[in-house]
Amino acid sequence: MTIPRCAILFDNTHHFHRHVQVKRNVQRTLAGELQRLSVAFRKQQKQHLNQLRQRDGGAGASFLADGGAASAALNDDDYDPGFTDVQA
């Protein structure tokens, strides 16, 4: 008894779609872990910079030359750039 060709094609298509789904799940898991690590890094970086500022005398000791967006981002606990459309 031979297996009908449509059954073989269905089986191959099913395996392909399953592979794509697994690949997406792995990518999403890795992206979520990267996001978590990025947030943790930014928090630790902020703490470290604050310690440096305190050690060096507080105001005026910042080595962030522009004092603009980068400085504001480090001082804002809620800052999270999130994912771009390409990363999502």
| 47-72 tens-digit pLDDT | 999 999 998 886 554 555 555 555 55
Tokens of 42: 């930014």
Instruction: Report how far residue 70's alpha carbon sits from residue 83's, in angstroms, rounded to the nearest whole number.
Output: 18
Closest to 38 in 3D by CA, of 81, 70, 84, 2? 81
Q: For 5-23, what is each residue's pLDDT tens digit?
A: 666 666 778 788 888 899 9
- The pTM is what? 0.49
Domain boundaries, the chain: 36-80
Which is higher by pLDDT, 42 or 58? 42
Task: Give the pLDDT confidence score for residue 61 in this predicted structure.
Answer: 45
